[in-house]
Amino acid sequence: MNFQPADFQSVVDASKRAMAPLAELNALTARTLERTARYQYGVAGDLLELGVAQLQAAAVAKDFGALLNQQAALTNAFFEKSTTRSKEAMQLATAAQGEFTAWASSATSELSPKPV
């Protein structure tokens, strides 16, 4: 079957229109993964800071009671950071859900058959 140049161009255009929502999904997924990776990197940094602070507290402690008090203070500060990080995680999830919902609505409206 021979395609005329105009027919071939219409096939290419149709392919581009069909793949456009998937390209948008790919970009959306990449952005979401990057945000999640940055968040996880921050959480790992918080854990590393806690570990280093605990080691420093153990190294400079004069007695066991002082060490326990310092460890309790460090742990409380870490849990405050963890609470903030949990709220950030919820914001990330909510934003991602909204973006994916908007994409799905857009893709559905673009790819649904139009009345002739």
Domain ranges, ordered by start, for the chain: 47-108
pLDDT attached to residue 4: 61
Place of tokens 């742990």: 75
User: CA nearest 44: which of 82, 76, 75?
Assistant: 82
Reading the block at residue 49, the tokens are 């800071």
Predicted TM-score (pTM) of the model is 0.76
3-state helix vs strand vs coil in the chain, percent to 5? 90, 0, 10
Kindly report, residue by residue over 44-100, the tens digit of the pLDDT.
999 999 999 999 999 998 999 999 999 999 999 999 999 999 999 999 999 999 999
